[in-house]
Structure 1
Amino acid sequence: MTLDAFRKTSREVIAKRLKLIDVRQKSGTPSEIIEAMYIKDSWKYVFSLFKNKRLFAEYSDYKIDEPTNYIFNHFVEINRSYLLSYTKRIWLAPGTYNLNIGLVVKSGSGLGTTKFDLKYYDSNGNAIVQTFYPPSNINEILPKRQFCFLKIGEFSVNDPTPAAGERQDKQHSKLQRLELTMEEIGLYLKSGFRIFFIDISQPSMLFNDYDLLFYSCQETNYKYFINLPLKNFYKALNHVQNGGSENDGKISYGTGDPEDIADQYDNEFPENIASDNISHEENLMEYANFFFHNTYNRRYYKFNTVYQRRQFVNRFGDFELDDREGDPRKRRCSYDRKDIKWRIPIIGEL
């Protein structure tokens, strides 16, 4: 529904052409669900939500020193910490993915000694581990006091091939269960940065064809980068897929009930958006219009090579001229003029 903020007309054209109806019931057969309005007329977006993962900050996932560090509702603040550990169990379809992180560096130190591990098991019960490290000079590369979407690495997931007698929680006929770990591997103090989310997404034009290291926006307030309906969706999806508990190996895949964690969803919109005088659906659309249409953010792209940067500028225009002039209504760079593609996972388009 919130996607109507930028594609209502095109969605309604598709829905009218296919004679779709708005189904209000909470359950149905797969064929009924796939034929419903907001599903079939938005299939590219729906599929991308399930194919990709965006892991927003959750208190139960992080271990950090206290009290100088804290976990807010929507981000993790790191100030003078030697302990940083994050663990999350997720389910992914076979394929190739980018591992990214969304963060803000204030006066950051210690990011270069962080390790990312992705682990799953093959049909023989052997662990397959893929490890990634940010660039050692990442503290010098990333701009300060700006939101940065940084590519950590690229990894692959094999087809699930359950062995005889394999526990159901470890394997699924079409999905692999992975354990993502982020941890400190050095003795260096970590300080001065804020983590919004870890992003797992399909290879994209910007990051893979043009070898982008990161892109940044000058804002740092979480409300511009944390999509609350998207956060609630992934919270519910992870709960369902992990059987209601990430740590209980006896619980089968897909048996979690999203209603069990209804009190954990983020339904409080920013104060300048929410109103008690309108319905929840109207508040939701007010929020969607704010989130998808605040286009004043100046964007900057950092490529791994000068050649790739030149290729990008030749095709789309010089983003640095846009940054200097500071008027988003007169952008020379034609790439993603409406600032939509980084706000929500979209298959093959970032």
Structure 2
Amino acid sequence: MLSKLPLEIQVQLIKNAPESSLKYVNSHFYILYNDLFYEKLIRTFGEDIIQVLKKVLPWMKIYIKTLDTFRYHARNAIASRLKLKDENNSIDFEGKSNEFHCMYVKDSWKYIYSILANKRLFAEYKDYRIDEPTNYVFNHFVEINRTYLLSYEKDLWLVPGKYNLNIGLLIKDGRGLGTTKFEIKYHDKPNHPVVQTFFPPTNINDILPKMQFCLLKVGEFNIPQKEDDIDSQSNKLVHIQFVMEEIGLYLKSGFRIFFIDIAQPSMLFNDYDLLYYTLKESNYKHFINIPLKNLYKALNHVQNGKTTSSQPSHLLYGSGDPLEIWEEYDHEFLQHYNFPAVPENEKNSNIENFDLIKYADFYFNNSFKRLFKFNTIYQRRQFINRFGDFELEWIEEDNKKQDKPEQNADRKLCFYDLYGLKWKMPIVSEL
């Protein structure tokens, strides 16, 4: 049997199999496949990521638990065989205390890796500089309404590699979005400052549909490898500054910003050269995952460290305390979860009891049909030939709402992302 081969050969077989399909053979290979993501995590991010993970573990476990709405049986296949429990102080197989030897962590390394490898910058009022009082943050998004000032800056840490820069937004009667500049700033190997600049299409207000959520690809950028020094062995991430600002005195009005998405390359955006996708929905609740927003807020605060310090950023990495910003989290989604050393008087006793699983069912199981806009007709045809006609599904959805009879029933419908889950999570990669 394959499971009797030396472990090194088993690992190589999993990595050589297309999309790691060997993991479906039995539970042994599925557990091994999951464990390899932990090794990849250490190899990719460096050993310092362990201390960062320990600090954000409560927020991480909450988000991973919401994924049970579609992956409970897959996760339980690992948890049941390893006899994992949902507890804070776990004992591993060697009899040692191990915070990671528990449910929603040791059985979910693939998803934990995807969270760390991507960054979704949700709208935060303190990060934006805009005119007031006509602009405001309401229900987790930034409303741009007649402003000449638009500036946004965010410090973050990314592993070297290629990324897509996307923005999740909604256009009402948008003006001025085409004169917005996006910048990625970092230092290269000789420690020289590098700036990569991107602009959306100048006719973006005409391209994007109105009153519908859109995820627009702004550009692609690459972060080079760090110098091979002692520090890079423990922390392999690169300090990045993301900037979005107006390039002139042009009026901006009539659009909402939900988040900035810095994502690993994907088949949809890179192989098929997608410009944007849209869906017929404008309610922020379907685009803003609150547990994920809290998790990234805690993660960024820990990684950036104490911003008031004058020390270099690489010395501050991982020194932040996520409990320092306790009041900035959305507490209604944190009920009945154990957060260490949180004073009782800092918790809002009036918070309504909220069922996390019900929220997860609402967020992940509401399936919306997406309309894709490719940069070329050729890529559009290639996508339809492989996955089916997404435009037909878009039309059929309208017909159902209007109680019209089904048309073109003999044509193949689109089966890409059949359950509508991929766009709701950070990009999940393979080994």
1:293 aligns with 2:365: yes
How far residue 52 of structure 1 moved from its aligned partner, in angstroms, is 0.4
Alignment of 1:150-165 (within 5 A): 150-161=216-227
User: In the aligned structure 1, how far is the partner of 2:277 from the partner of 2:193?
Assistant: 33
Q: How does 1:1-350 map to 2 (within 5 A)?
A: 1-25=65-89, 32-161=98-227, 173-245=235-307, 248-250=309-311, 252-268=316-332, 283-295=355-367, 297-326=368-397, 332-348=413-429
Contact 2:184 / 2:240 at 8 angstroms: preserved in 1? yes
Bigger share in strand: 1
Residues 155 and 240 in structure 2, CA contact (< 8 A), matched pair in contact too:
yes
**Contact 2:89-2:99 within 8 A present in 1 as well:** no
How far the C-alpha of 1:27 sits from its partner, in A, is 12
Contact 1:81 1:190 in 2 (8 A): yes
| Contact in 1 for aligned 2:88/2:99 (Cα 8 Å) | no
CA–CA distance in 1 between the matches of 2:91 and 2:252?
46
Measured at CA, do residues 279 and 3 of structure 1 come closer, stay the same or move farther in structure 2, by a change above 3 Å?
Answer: farther
How high is the TM-score relative to the length of structure 1? Answer: 0.88
Q: Which amino acid counterpart does residue 288 of structure 1 have in structure 2?
A: A
Aligned length: 334
- SS for the counterpart of 1:255 is coil
**Is the Cα–Cα contact under 8 Å of residues 112 and 133 in structure 1 kept in the other structure?**
yes
Q: Structure 1: which amino acid aligns with 2:136? A: Y
1:269-315 Cα offsets, whole Å, 9 max, x none, are 6xxxxxx9x995x71111111000111x2311000000000111111
Give distance in 1, aligned partners of 2:81 and 2:109: 15
* Whole-Å separation in 1 of the counterparts to 2:134 and 2:91: 45
Q: Are the structure 2 counterparts of residues 71 and 342 from structure 1 closer, same or farther at C-alpha, using a change threshold of 3 Å?
A: same
- 1:51, 1:179 → 2: CA distance? 16
Larger mean CA deviation between 232-241 and 151-160 belongs to 151-160
Amino acid of the structure 1 residue aligned with 2:171 = V
Counterpart CA distance in 1 for 2:153 and 2:159 is 19
- Which consecutive residues of structure 2, in runs of 5 or more, have no partner in the other structure? 1-64, 334-348, 402-408
Q: Is the contact made by 1:171 and 1:177 (CA closer than 8 Å) also made in structure 2? A: no
1:202 and 1:59 map into 2 onto residues whose CA distance is 26
In structure 2, the CA distance between the partners of 1:93 and 1:26, relative to structure 1 (3 Å rule), is: farther
Distance 1:112 1:48, change over 3 A: same
SS at structure 2 position matched to 1:40: coil
Counterpart AA for 2:299: L
CA distance in 2: counterparts of 1:292 and 1:27, whole angstroms:
32
Q: Deviations over 1:86-126 (max 9, x none)?
A: 00000001111111000000011111111111011124331
Q: Once the two structures are superposed, what CA deviation does each residue of 1:194-213 show, in whole Å capped at 9, x if it has no partner?
A: 00000001000100011000
Shift in Å at residue 42 of structure 1? 1.6
1:132 deviates by 0.6
- The alignment yields a C-alpha RMSD, in angstroms, of 2.8
Give the letter aligned to residue 344 of structure 1: M
Aligned partner of 1:181: which letter? V
The one-letter code of the counterpart of 1:225 is F
CA 1:26–1:83: 2 relative to 1, 3 Å:
farther
Contact 1:45 1:346 in 2 (8 A): no
Using a 3 Å threshold, how does the CA distance of structure 1 residues 50 and 313 change in structure 2: closer, same or farther? same
In structure 2, give the amino acid aligned to 1:5. T
Paired with 2:214 and 2:372, the residues of 1 have a C-alpha distance of 10
Q: Rg: which structure is higher? A: 2
1:342 counterpart SS class: helix
